[in-house]
Each structure stands twice: as C-alpha cells, then as structure tokens.
Amino acid sequence: MKRGKAIISLIICLALLGLLGYTALFGIGADKSGSMKGISLGLDLAGGVSITYEATGDTDPSDEDMADTVYKLQKRVEQYSTEAQVYREGTNRISIEIPGVTDANAILAELGQPGNLYFIAQTDSDGNENYSYTVLEDGSIGYALNYTLEELEANGSIVLQGEDVANATAGYQNSGTANTQEPVVELEFTEDGATKFAEATTKAYAAGESIGIYYDGEFISVPTVQAAITDGKAVITGESSYEDAANLASMIRIGGLKVQLTELRSNVVGAQLGSEAIHTSLIAACVGFALVVIFMIAIFYLLGFSASVALVFYCLLMVILLSAFEITLTLPGIAGIILSIGMAVDANVLVFSRTREELAAGKSVNEARNNGYKKATSAILDGNVTTLIAAVVIFALGSGTVKGFASTLILGTIVSMFTALFVTRQITNILYNLGLQNVKLYGKAKPVKERNFISIRKITYSISVVIIVIGFVVMGVNGGRGVGAFNYSLDFVGGTSTTVTFNESWTTADVESEIVPKIKDLTGVSSVQVQTVTGSNQVIFKTTTLDVDQRTAVEEMFENDYGIAEENISAESISSTISSEMRNDAVIAVVVALICMLIYIWIRFKDIKFGTASIIALAHDALIVIVCYAVTRLQVGSTFIAVILTIIGYSINDTIVTFDRIRENLHGASTKDKLAEVVNNSVSQTLTRSLFTSITTFLMVFALFIFGVADIRAFALPLMVGVVSGTYSSIFIASSLWFDLKTFKKKN
C-alpha cells in the first residue's frame, strides 16, 4: 500500500517539478516568455533608463540643497526599483538611472516636474477666489487656478512651498465610525513651514475654507481645513485607498525639493558590467550548482540526492517568485540568493547529520529520519529566523542596493526553509517508501573525536587579532602614502563621466576589448564602467575622478585614434551613487538589525552571553572582510555593503547551529571544567557540518570567481574570504567567547 502511494507521490512530484520548470522557462497562460525572462535585471546586469535634470535659476544651488534633492529623489524613484541610482553631475545637474525599464517618456510623465509644489489659500486677502471647481463627467471634482502662480505669489496666496514640507508618508488612522481604519497622508513641516502653516490654517479654519495643493500644473489635493494646526504636523483624509495615499505622499515629497529641476536629456543605457556579465553568471550558477550536487551526493548518498532535487525546486521557485514580485536582480541580489542557497543546504546538512547520528546509535532508518528532523528543527528555525529578522530590518530601514539585497534575502530565506523542511523530507519519504531502506544508502555517523578547542582559544584569538591589526596597519600606510586606506569606487566617491559620440555604432563587447584597456593605461584607473546609449552612437565611460592631464590624454586618444571631433567628447564630474544619507541608512539598519538579533538570541537561548558572543563574532567576520578589501585594494563599491551583510547573515546562521548544540548539551553544567567540556564536545559534534556547509557555499561563490567577468570576480573574492572567516569564527571564536563570558562572571 505504501509503495503504491509512493509511486503516486513520485508522479505528482515529477509533474510539479515539470510544471515549475515549464513556467520558469516558457511561462503559462497568455504570457509565453517564461519567468526567467521576466526577471527585472539591474543597471549592472541589463541597463535601463537614464534621465538627467538641470537646476533652473540664475545661480547654482548650494551643495546642501543638491544633496537634499538627490536623497529625496532617491526615495521617490525607489517605487520603480530599489536599485535605482541618483547622483549629482557637475554643479547643477542630477542624473537618475532606473533599471528594468525602457520607456523614458513614461517615467518622466509619472515623475512629473520635481520641485514645483505650492499650498494655495482658497481666497486672497480681498476675499477673491484663487481657484474654482467644476464637476467632471465621471462625477469627480476638478479644480483650476483663477490666477497665474506669479499673481498668487504677489498677493500672498501661496502660503507654503514644497521646501517647507519635511516629509510626507502614507498611513492609516481611525475613521471614528465602526472603529475602521482609513488611508491618510501624514505631513510634517519644517520649523519655518510649521509657522506658516499655523497662520494659514488658522485663517482658513475661521473662514471654513480649503488649502489647495498644486503640483506640476494641477491640483493633486484640495483638503478642507478642519482645525488650526500649530504643531507642524497635518493629516490629509479622504483618500480612497492606501495606494492613492502613497502616490499623493510621493508626489508631495518630490514636489518638496529645494531645487527646481527641468529635464535636460533622457536615454536608454546598456548594462554597467558589460555584455558578458549575465552569460558568465549563468555559467557560474550552473557549474556551482553541479558541484554542490556532486558534493552532496558523494557525502550523504541518497539523502544528498533528495537535497539536490529539493534545490532544483528551490531554484525554480526563486525564478518564478523573483519575476512575480518584480524584484530587481543585481549583484547584491545575487549575494542574497547565494546566502539563501547556503542556508538551504545547511538545513539539509543539519538534518542529515542528525539522521546519521541516530543511525549510528542503532535506530531504524525511518526512526532515524524522523528524529533527525525533530532534533535539527530548532537550530534551523533559529538560524533562519535570525537571518530573516535582520533582512526585514535592513529592508525597512535601508535604501538603494541595501534594500535590494534584503528583498532577495527575505524571499530566498523563506523559500529555502520551505524546500529544506518540507520538500526534501517529502522526497526522502517517497524514496524510502519505494523500497530504498538499506542503511548503506543513508550512511552512519562516525564516532566524534573530541577536540580541545578551549585550550587553544588564546592562539585562535591571537591569529584573528594579528590579521586585523595587519589590515589596519596596511590602511594606515596606504593613507599615509596618499592613496587612501581603501580603493573606493565611484559608487562611494564619485568620479568622471565621459560621453563620446562616435562616428559609427560600437557594441559594448568591442568597447570593452579595445577602448577600455587604453583608458586604463592612460589614466591608471583600475575600473571603467561602460554604458551604451540605445538609438545613438554615444558611449558613456565612468571612472574614478580624472585630473586635467588624465582627461586631456583620454580626449586626445579619442581624437587621434578614432577621429572624434572635440565637440563630441564631453566630461562631467559625477557624485557618488551611494550618498552619505544612504550610507547612514545602511549603518542604522545594520545596528538595529544586530540589536534585534541579540534580543532574539537572548530570548531563545535564555542567556544574553550567547547573543553577545554572536555579535562579537559577527564583528570579527566583518573586520576580516574589510581587511581583505584593504590589503587586496579591491574597489569598495555598492557590492561592498552587500558582501558585509551577506557574511553577517551567513556567520550568524553558522554560529546559531553551534550554540544550539551547546544549549542541548549544557544539562545544568556550571563549573568551569564542565563548561569547557560542553563547548569542546558541542563544537566537535558540529565540526563536520560546519565544514560541509562552508564547502557547498564556497563552491557556489568559487564558480562565480572562476567564470565571472572582472567586476564579478572582485565581488566573489571577498565573499570567499568571508565564508572562510565565518566558518573559522563559528568553530574557534564564538563558542570560546561564550565560554569566557560565562566563566568571567564566576571569577569575580
């Protein structure tokens, strides 16, 4: 009977796998393009729309106003993609690059004219109506100005402008009827704006009037003033849905820019990493996946085969969900997926290791499998939930590439837990009920050789300290030499953008192979980003900042070698694509995430020392990766933050597993000798599992390093260092730190 059910289950499993594969590759229903082709790719992998605005006015805006405008625009365009980039070009221009879209006109229409927002009183000082209304055909009310903006400003009817708005967000508030929630827009004004708004609302409330919000040539809201508002905060009600409220808030934010902007140009640009990035990444993914499958089957036999099939489910589900949720995939996003694949494999390794321990203890295969899942579940859940908490916090508080990394990590973590705890188990059940029940197909755990990790902790601490100190010395030396402690990319420090209009069309591949090496030789820069402009012969070259001599050398090369006229070569200084506000957002997000992780571990393990040791171990791994960047002089760019976050997520998951075994073995041990014995035994028991998980994750990243283009290799190398460091800290640092924290209190 069981065999018959197993055959049916196998058929269902294969049919489901085929359906997922068909959906991912070809699609279902009206859309036959397939989910894989439907995944939105970032600027680094596929390009997108580039829009450049120019500040209007007789004088250039201040640096402070431009920085504020860049940050607010960044928040605005994240509705299109978390990977959108906004940066300053020259003294009075701002460029926006949005991945995954090709219609610049549609984006321009939705963005509107940044910086033109006015709050207009219903009547002027003489009682004349400043705007009138008509009932439209659809029953809605339309409003129109009775005077020009210049006339309204002259008679004092413009009571506030966009720059007086500090923030606008969508939310809910109690409607007061049946205790229901209604969508609203919450406004917060600057100190000066609060004073103006208090005066305006006092007058409007007394007269029973409204204050119209006028943006980009039309009224976007005309709320009636229901009270004098003197605290600098207001709420706009009457929105039909949360989406409408969010859209209104977004328009108010972009209209609240201090700088008036007009469109200068818009283009569709190519991928920043070049034409081969996607192709080589796919090859690397296939090779890495194949290596993981081979390793899992070679180590865990039939269980490894089950995990490999489950990983196929994972990959197909991720492709479909990335497309369904319209998540933009970039290099940082790939980092999040690699981390979640590592966690999926890790969950399987945990279960399989426990299963083998049960088999070695004499249990039957069926009982061993069930016990394996039962004993491994707490560690799997703790590790994944801890990572998920961090990812959610980072998504909520971060911006730009940090938010993009978090979105893929959240999705990947949830899918990896599902495939590891459910899919793998079902596949194993099917194979077992088909008659594959011989213990030899599953393997038995070998006796654990206990190693004395506590006795060598001073040595392992010293090794870490020496490596970190060497790194800081190198930073100091490089700083003293004037080359900088780190080799920052233009993502962090800005640079030079050189736009060249060629006499004929060039492909990205040809530009990369022929022209980029010449630019590197002439300028000494280590990296050149190339973007082709669709529909033209223009190519944009982005580098770190070039001085006058370097710019001249590059221009002469284009003139002499390619016959480019001087007027067809233009160079502009560009700001960093990662603004100081975005960096602050990232730091705040990481700090809050670490605090939340500490609290969760404290609650789950009922001992804050576990959480403290975990956080110190995470800091250790982050410092090791930072040292890697300093010593190797790899460029510190947008992927740097993603690498650090990836290693934090990987390391905490690895450490949690070891701590879970310590908690299991503790049994009330209180003396120093007993605690040392518990740590040594627990780390020894989880040693092979830590190594196996690290190997599978390392194989995925190593494939990227071998087959990827130069920028992808520069991204993969610190990831590999981080994986090794995370494994080292889980084995030699975290548990020993917990032991020292635990016994330190007893000595005082």
Domains and CATH numbers, the chain: 48-110 (3.30.70.3400), 117-256 (3.30.1360.200), 277-469+580-747 (no CATH), 495-574 (3.30.70.100)
Q: What pLDDT does residue 113 have?
A: 66
pLDDT of 375 strictly over 50: yes
Please answer whether residues 541 and 519 qualify as being in contact, where contact means their C-beta atoms are separated by less than 8 angstroms. yes
Task: Quote the DSSP letter at residue 82.
Answer: T
Name the residue among 277, 283, 275 with its Cα closest to residue 703.
283
Exposed / middle / buried, residue 430 (Cβ in 10 Å: 0-12, 13-18, 19+): buried
pLDDT of 200 strictly over 50: yes
Name the residue among 257, 418, 237 with its Cα closest to residue 344.
418
* Backbone CA torsion sign across 523, 524, 528, 532: positive
pLDDT band at 740; cut points 50, 70, 90:
very high
- Tens of pLDDT, residue by residue over 556-593, are 999 999 999 988 998 888 888 776 777 787 788 888 88
Task: Quote the DSSP letter at residue 96.
Answer: E
Convert 241-274 to b/e letters by CB count within 10 Å (16 or more is b). Answer: eeeebbbbbbbbbbbbbbbbbeeeebbbbbbbbb
Exposed / middle / buried, residue 150 (Cβ in 10 Å: 0-12, 13-18, 19+): exposed
Higher-confidence residue: 341 or 12?
12
Please answer whether residues 543 and 496 qualify as being in contact, where contact means their C-beta atoms are separated by less than 8 angstroms. yes
pLDDT band at 112; cut points 50, 70, 90:
low
Higher-confidence residue: 220 or 111?
220
Please state the separation of Cα 78 from the chain's center in Å: 12
Beta strands in 453-568 (DSSP E): 487-488, 495-501, 529-532, 538-543
Q: What is the rounded CA–CA span in Å between residue 221 and residue 68? A: 25
Higher-confidence residue: 31 or 713?
713
What amino acid is encoded at 727 in this protein? Answer: T
pLDDT of 33 strictly over 70: no
Helix (H) or strand (E) holding 573: strand 569-574
Q: What is the mean pLDDT of residues 362-377?
A: 90
pTM of the model: 0.74
Higher-confidence residue: 548 or 264?
548
Q: Read out DSSP for 100-128?
A: T---HHHHHHHH--TT-EEEEESB-TT--
Q: What is the rounded CA–CA span in Å between residue 530 and residue 270? A: 8
In the predicted model, what is the mean pLDDT of the chain? 85
Q: What is the mean pLDDT of residues 367-385?
A: 88
pLDDT of 713 strictly over 90: no
- Tens of pLDDT, residue by residue over 76-102, are 787 777 778 888 888 888 888 888 777
Q: What is the rounded CA–CA span in Å between residue 435 and residue 98? A: 54
Please answer whether residues 76 and 107 qualify as being in contact, where contact means their C-beta atoms are separated by less than 8 angstroms. no
Q: What is the mean pLDDT of residues 276-292?
A: 81
pLDDT of 31 strictly over 60: no
Q: What is the rounded CA–CA span in Å between residue 653 and residue 647? A: 10
Q: What is the rounded CA–CA span in Å between residue 639 and residue 331? A: 7
Cβ partners under 8 Å of residue 2, min gap 6: 433
Please answer whether residues 107 and 49 qualify as being in contact, where contact means their C-beta atoms are separated by less than 8 angstroms. yes
pLDDT of 331 strictly over 60: yes
Interstrand relation of 538-543 and 117-121 (parallel, antiparallel or unpaired): unpaired
CA 109 vs CA 114, 161, 244, 438, 551: distances in Å: 11, 22, 17, 66, 36
- Tens of pLDDT, residue by residue over 679-706, are 999 999 999 888 888 888 888 888 888 8
Q: Read out DSSP for 663-724?
A: HHHHTT--SHHHHHHHHHHHHHHHHHHHHHHHHHHHHHHHHHHHHS-HHHHHHHHHHHHHHH
Q: Residue 108 is encoded by which pair of tokens?
A: 């321009």
pLDDT of 32 strictly over 60: no
What amino acid is encoded at 591 in this protein? Answer: V
Please answer whether residues 43 and 221 qualify as being in contact, where contact means their C-beta atoms are separated by less than 8 angstroms. no
pLDDT band at 748; cut points 50, 70, 90:
very low
Beta strands in 4-67 (DSSP E): 48-55
Instruction: Choose the weakest-confidence range: 27-31, 159-163, 272-276.
Output: 27-31
pLDDT band at 747; cut points 50, 70, 90:
very low
Q: What pLDDT does residue 272 have?
A: 67
Task: Quote the DSSP letter at residue 448.
Answer: P
Instruction: Choose the weakest-confidence range: 57-61, 185-189, 465-469, 734-738.
Output: 57-61
How many C-beta atoms surround the C-beta of residue 62 within 10 A?
11
Look up tokens 């460091």; give the residue. 725
Q: What pLDDT does residue 275 have?
A: 59
- Tens of pLDDT, residue by residue over 59-76, are 778 888 888 788 778 877
Interstrand relation of 218-221 and 131-135 (parallel, antiparallel or unpaired): unpaired
Q: What is the rounded CA–CA span in Å between residue 594 and residue 607? A: 16
3-state secondary structure of 434: coil
Q: What is the rounded CA–CA span in Å between residue 681 and residue 452? A: 8
Q: Read out DSSP for 29-45?
A: TT--S-HHHHSPB-TTT
Name the residue among 381, 404, 379 with its Cα closest to residue 391.
404
Q: What is the rounded CA–CA span in Å between residue 652 and residue 595? A: 13
Look up tokens 């206990």; give the residue. 450
